[in-house]
Structure 1
Amino acid sequence: MTRALVTAVILVVSAGSAGAEPVERTRSIAWAPCPDAAEGECGTLSVPLDWDKPRGQRIDIAVARHAATDPARRIGVLMVDPGGPGGSAARFALSRLFSDEVRARFDIVGIDSRGTGGSLAIRCADLMVGAPSSYPADETGFEALLRFNRGVLAQCGERSGPIFDHADSAQVARDMDAVRRALGERKISFFGLSYGTMFGQLYAEEFGDRVRAMVLDSVVDHSADVTRFVGDRAAAADDSFVEFARWCERTDSCALHGQDVRAAWEAALVRADGEQFGRQGLIDSMYSALRGPDWAWAAELVAGTPRAKALDFEPNYESVLPASVCQDFSLRVKNFREYSRLRAEELRRSPIMRGSFIGHGETAACVGVAGPPANPPHRLDIGDAPKILVLSARHDPTTPYAWAVNIQRQAPRNTALLTYEGWGHIAYPRSACTRGGVDSYLLDLAIPAGSCPAVE
């Protein structure tokens, strides 16, 4: 039997449990050449809309595969996800991020997570035009945000259909295992970036014995409550700004070299108050520069002479966020009093950057979401999984290094932490050390040394 067509579908009732819900066994993926990537194979897999109701409505999820270029030495399947949320894992699987040796030894498989790419993409960004400030100054401003969000949620849910209520990370983890079965693999390896690490963690919790290897790069801490979700990210943003200022001090080409960078930043914020994009627009652009990092652009922003540059977020990020992040975390801020306490903590931990673009923005987007999260936050429980490699830059403004440390603390027997002693979001491509350490782990299950030096 070829890997292109695996097995037929059967639904069976567990022995001795007449009347129970049937257990999903195996369906097939009919592969065809990807329309925009000659090296790839694309297909879809039918899965239950709600994994707790396997006899109910079904949906098709999009899958892509780059077959191992050296099949004689093939190790198995490496599932990948670029995070976001909103990034297409199907496209990511066909990218050139991975080394030639990894591409030679693994079938690299990407599954578009629910609400993204070819898996019933949620498209609601147009509904968010004209939103009130996500930084309300009083009760009236908070109520305006609450009313607006509720309207968007209702319209987006109606437009998107039932996928809107079934796009949390726990559902995606079940989809991953359905793809594993369809591929005929006993175990898989996994490589997740940023929010893609959520899918890996949930998979390792439920299907740990089916994991051969797993890399969680720039990990999201699913145990974070709303205070840590916002506060840890706010502190990480300030830490990255401090690193930028240090770079300016030692780098002649920095547009702010020889100046007090913090004072120049405060002056730039005051100046921005009278400009078109305003103070918050400047802060958001600085956050994007730190995330790269693109320190030369950061200096230009402060100096008032920036090149035009788009912010680097997934195009479907805003649309899928309420259906995913708001169902994976308890980000329910109910009233202005709660918001004020949270904002004060955010500013306490981030006096320079005034908080985190992404931590604050995601929490504000969840204002008005009803009910508890479908996949509530909790401590990591991966007792059945093998040793998982957690990778993080020490100075990451998006997924704080403290989160990687906490993940390792929660599962010390099942995780190893590789620290990139540098900057920016996503650590794997930063240096020969980070690439080599991850590749050796994926290929040979060799745990790398504890840290990699920064590359400036």
Structure 2
Amino acid sequence: MAAVLVVAGAGSAGAEPVDRTRTIEWAACPDGLEGQCGTLSVPLDWNKPRGQRIDVAVARHRATDPSRRIGVLMVDPGGPGGSAALFALSPVFSPELRARFDIVGIDSRGTGNTSPILCDDLMSDAPDIYPSDEAGFQAVLRYNRRVVSQCRARSGPVFDNADGAAVARDMDAVRRALGERKISFFGLSYGTVYGQAYAEMFGDRVRAVALDSVVDHSADVLRFVGDRAAASDDAFAEFARWCDRTESCVLHGQDVYEAWEAALVRADSRPNGRQGLLDSMYYALREPDWGWAAGLIADLPAFRAADIQPNYSSVRLASVCQDFSLRLDSFREYARMRADELRRSPIMRGSFLGHDEVMACAGIAGPPANPPHRWDIGKAPTILVVNGRHDPTTPYAWAVNMQRQAPRNTVLLTYEGWGHVAYDASDCARAGVDEYLLNLRTPVASCPAVGP
């Protein structure tokens, strides 16, 4: 039986007056998209509210059943680099959510149409991000400092004002412009960083928050990489068990672990072959696409490009590097991190994503603008945390830790399956999120796995 959550302000009644000095001028969205698009002027630096301003891009899909409208549901697809404005207009959401909420997406700073940070062309000739000595590590630092300097110069001041706390303040500015007293929020993956920040800073303005595949904003550099490394090995072990019991797996009847090691050796004869194989395997486990994973081991040409956010490599310099303390400054620090990573992930040789992000941030000057810390959501209502048990990108351990940090007002829904983002993977998880957002009722504690 679902337990009812007692949450104050469950509707849009009592909405605060619209701030007429900062309104959104709505117009039809381009490219025939169903919805309204506009911009809102906000301070570039929220610590200097009377200073320079920027326009954040906003999109809205109006509730299709206005007579039963609950209010506003802000959404974010994560990345960083994903356009929340486009996400809000997508068919991802259930008909009932679309009927009862105005679904609103705000392109976070540096993404979509909010002062996009586009610097991929500055990132040629990158050094090896797995250095074996001090000289190799120093080459990474020199490269990073050059790229950051050039990207900052090209992007302008938004580059130093794109952290998760700034995005949360933009969300609240949009709330005020819409005249809503409270909002609901649904974030995926890195979008959960924005949801966490909003619940901390504006908990009394929250009706409901659902966080699917959570990025633990309390993680230090060792957990940021190590937890993901362990999760990658766990995901591989799940794939190997599937091959053992599934006749259609091309590796069925073989020792999958021995075949994997042999494939890594074969890959050594190709340029970037081993790392390319490891990276491709990570994405196959993340999907999850276990047929692709087996094909990678059986036939190296099964490599294929991964689907990542459009400007992820650029915007992470201004977001991830400012939301986490990932500033390795010496080879000694790197060697300690790498040893722990390999200890926790002997099969996958570490975390592709975690390692890559840490090395992109190495050497960046100054402390992060929105440093990691223990979650403090005392003013927020009960928040729903959702995570796959075998997710290699946002480890299940992160979701458990988030719930432990705020046991009085968080509920954890476990999807017992694989891959990244539970809402798309399981009808049960989707129903649980919808029930919470619509009726403020907690779902069942867990949802069964659905075959990949």
Tell me: CA distance 1:293–1:321, structure 2 relative to 1, closer, same or farther (3 Å). Answer: same
Per the alignment, residue 150 of structure 2 pairs with: 155
Q: Is the 8 A contact 2:277 2:300 kept in 1?
A: no
Which secondary structure state, in structure 1, belongs to the residue aligned with residue 24 of structure 2? coil
Q: 1:47 is aligned with what amino acid? A: V
User: 1:38 offset after TM fit, Å?
Assistant: 3.5
- CA distance in structure 2 between the partners assigned to 1:239 and 1:394 by the alignment: 9
- CA distance in structure 1 between the partners assigned to 2:327 and 2:271 by the alignment: 32
Q: Is the 8 A contact 2:20 2:177 kept in 1?
A: no
Is 1:46 the equivalent of 2:41? yes
User: 1:118 offset after TM fit, Å?
Assistant: 0.4
Q: 1:423 is aligned with what amino acid? A: W
Q: 2:222 is aligned with what amino acid? A: T
Identity %: 74
User: 1:309 offset after TM fit, Å?
Assistant: 2.8
Is 1:204 the equivalent of 2:216? no
Deviations 1:233-283 (A, max 9, x none): 000000000000001011111111111001100000010011134100000
Deviations 1:148-180 (A, max 9, x none): 110001000000000000000000000000000
Q: Is the 8 A contact 2:280 2:303 kept in 1?
A: no
- CA distance in structure 1 between the partners assigned to 2:355 and 2:303 by the alignment: 24
Per the alignment, residue 373 of structure 1 pairs with: 368
- CA distance in structure 1 between the partners assigned to 2:86 and 2:211 by the alignment: 19
Which of 98, 106, 113 is matched with 2:108 structurally?
Answer: 113
Deviations 1:316-350 (A, max 9, x none): 10000110001011001111111011100000000
Per the alignment, residue 299 of structure 1 pairs with: 294
Which of 118, 121, 125 is matched with 1:123 structurally?
Answer: 118
Per the alignment, residue 355 of structure 2 pairs with: 360
- CA distance in structure 2 between the partners assigned to 1:374 and 1:152 by the alignment: 19
Per the alignment, residue 70 of structure 2 pairs with: 75
Output the aligned Cα RMSD.
Answer: 1.2
Is 1:318 the equivalent of 2:313? yes
- CA distance in structure 2 between the partners assigned to 1:400 and 1:389 by the alignment: 16
Which secondary structure state, in structure 2, belongs to the residue aligned with residue 323 of structure 1? coil
Q: Is the 8 A contact 1:297 1:306 kept in 2?
A: no
User: 1:36 offset after TM fit, Å?
Assistant: 1.7
Which secondary structure state, in structure 2, belongs to the residue aligned with residue 430 of structure 1? coil
User: 1:368 offset after TM fit, Å?
Assistant: 1.6
Pairing of 1:337-356 with structure 2 (within 5 A): 337-356=332-351
Is 1:257 the equivalent of 2:252? yes
Unpaired stretches in structure 1, ≥5 consecutive residues? 10-26
Q: Is the 8 A contact 2:277 2:303 kept in 1?
A: no
- CA distance in structure 1 between the partners assigned to 2:301 and 2:142 by the alignment: 36
User: 1:208 offset after TM fit, Å?
Assistant: 0.4
User: 1:103 offset after TM fit, Å?
Assistant: 0.4
The total of aligned residue pairs comes to 436
Q: Is the 8 A contact 1:6 1:29 kept in 2?
A: no
- CA distance in structure 2 between the partners assigned to 1:306 and 1:429 by the alignment: 29
Which of 402, 407, 414 is matched with 2:397 structurally?
Answer: 402
Per the alignment, residue 12 of structure 2 pairs with: none
Which of 8, 32, 36 is matched with 2:20 structurally?
Answer: 8
Per the alignment, residue 22 of structure 1 pairs with: none
Per the alignment, residue 269 of structure 1 pairs with: 264
Is 1:391 the equivalent of 2:386? yes
Is 1:434 the equivalent of 2:429? yes
Q: Is the 8 A contact 1:37 1:94 kept in 2?
A: no
User: 1:73 offset after TM fit, Å?
Assistant: 0.7
Q: Is the 8 A contact 2:413 2:444 kept in 1?
A: yes
- CA distance in structure 2 between the partners assigned to 1:214 and 1:453 by the alignment: 23
- TM-score normalised by the chain length of structure 1: 0.94
- CA distance in structure 2 between the partners assigned to 1:159 and 1:284 by the alignment: 30
Deviations 1:176-208 (A, max 9, x none): 000000001010000000000000000000100
Is 1:451 the equivalent of 2:451? no
Tell me: CA distance 1:379–1:57, structure 2 relative to 1, closer, same or farther (3 Å). Answer: same
Which of 185, 189, 203 is matched with 1:190 structurally?
Answer: 185
Deviates more, 1:291-300 or 1:135-144: 135-144
Q: Is the 8 A contact 1:164 1:323 kept in 2?
A: yes
Pairing of 1:97-108 with structure 2 (within 5 A): 97-108=92-103
Is 1:221 the equivalent of 2:233? no
Tell me: CA distance 1:308–1:135, structure 2 relative to 1, closer, same or farther (3 Å). Answer: closer
User: 1:6 offset after TM fit, Å?
Assistant: 5.0
Per the alignment, residue 65 of structure 1 pairs with: 60
- CA distance in structure 1 between the partners assigned to 2:351 and 2:220 by the alignment: 16
User: 1:37 offset after TM fit, Å?
Assistant: 3.6
User: 1:304 offset after TM fit, Å?
Assistant: 1.3
Deviations 1:399-435 (A, max 9, x none): 0000000000000011000000000000012222111
Which secondary structure state, in structure 2, belongs to the residue aligned with residue 279 of structure 1? helix
- CA distance in structure 2 between the partners assigned to 1:319 and 1:204 by the alignment: 27
- CA distance in structure 2 between the partners assigned to 1:145 and 1:38 by the alignment: 42
User: 1:308 offset after TM fit, Å?
Assistant: 5.4
Tell me: CA distance 1:390–1:241, structure 2 relative to 1, closer, same or farther (3 Å). Answer: same
